[in-house]
Amino acid sequence: MISYEARFEQAADYLVLWLKIKAPKESGNLAINAIKKVWNPEVGTWDIVIGGELAPYAVYTNGIWINRPGINPNEGWIQEACVEATPVLIAILSGEISEQDYKKMQMKNNMQLQGQFDALANIL
């Protein structure tokens, strides 16, 4: 049985990958470079960071467009992805998902993300 700390890190890794899958992909930069897990030593836990220097526009992908006409088609994508991920996160943290099943799930999710990038490469 793995420790709670290890399960917590697995949950963070799962959420990062799920957010990458759900991120808007005009160029792929946001998903490739700007969604990551960062250790927060002040509270001794993992933070999930979206945006930053590599994708300063990230905040605009999630919110209401103020200075643009129309509706942001990606509005709320972060919240939606987190809601979708919640049952799996609970299962990971509770130990309901075995190490083997976790690895299979992550492999499947990585393949899904790679498929999105492959499709994007064919468009660009």
- The answer as to whether 100 is a domain residue is yes
Amino acid 124: pLDDT: 64
Task: Say if 16 falls within a structural domain.
Answer: yes
Q: What is the pLDDT of residue 68?
A: 86
pTM: 0.93
Percent of the chain past pLDDT 90, that is, above it, reads: 87
Contact in structure between 91 and 78 (CB atoms under 8 Å): no
Other CB atoms within 10 Å distance of the CB of residue 30: 21
Domain that holds residue 109: 4-119
Q: Is residue 123 scored above 90 in pLDDT?
A: no
Strand partners, 48: 37
What average pLDDT does range 105-109 have in this prediction?
Answer: 97
Number of domains forming the structure of the chain: 1
Tell me, yes or no, whether 19 lies in a domain: yes
